[in-house]
Amino acid sequence: MGIPITVQVNGVSHSHEVEPRLLLAHYLRDVLRLTGTHIGCDTSSCGACTILVDGKAVKSCTMLAVQADGAEITTIEGLASNGELHPLQKSFNEEHGLQCGFCTPGMIMTATDLLANNPSPSEQEIRHALEGNYCRCTGYHNIVKAIQNAANTQG
């Protein structure tokens, strides 16, 4: 038997009956077909599934969909506006802050939360904020540069 939930995802209201054990990551990917939220580990280690729930970065592989009932959720698909990339998305491209791209949505969502709370973070603060996000390709240098660049263009 499903449990009814209603969530705002990227500004659009969605109501569904979901299984009580359905993870939010699977709800976003399988029910709403928002596949930018990646699943890398199912243990909350890698951060590839990071989204914003009520403005706060959350690893969606460790949150049940029923726990999100009534929440406002932003995924990587919701950052662009009117066909214009978000400053972090632009900066990751300009600064080559990605290689394979698998971790990139989670990195950008984590950075979105960081910059919302600290519009001018130091390199150390950026690196600390990214501790819950793994990148196996880039070595983080260009990811940090991308976040610094976005902070400079937003502020």
Q: Which domain holds residue 117?
A: 87-154
Residue 57 CB partners (closer than 8 Å, separation 6+):
50, 51, 109, 110, 112, 113, 114
Last residue of a domain, one of 59, 78, 97: 78
Distance CA 50, CA 47 (A): 5
Same domain, 96 and 34: no
- Total number of domains constituting the chain: 2
Same domain, 57 and 24: yes
Same domain, 74 and 23: yes
Output the pLDDT for position 43: 83
Note down pLDDT in tens along the chain; length 155 residues: 799 999 999 999 999 999 999 999 999 999 999 999 999 987 889 999 999 999 999 999 999 999 999 999 999 999 999 999 999 999 999 999 998 989 999 999 999 999 999 999 999 999 999 999 999 887 799 999 999 999 998 75
Same domain, 9 and 71: yes
The type of residue at 33 is: R
How many H-runs (helices) and E-runs (strands) does the chain carry? 5, 5
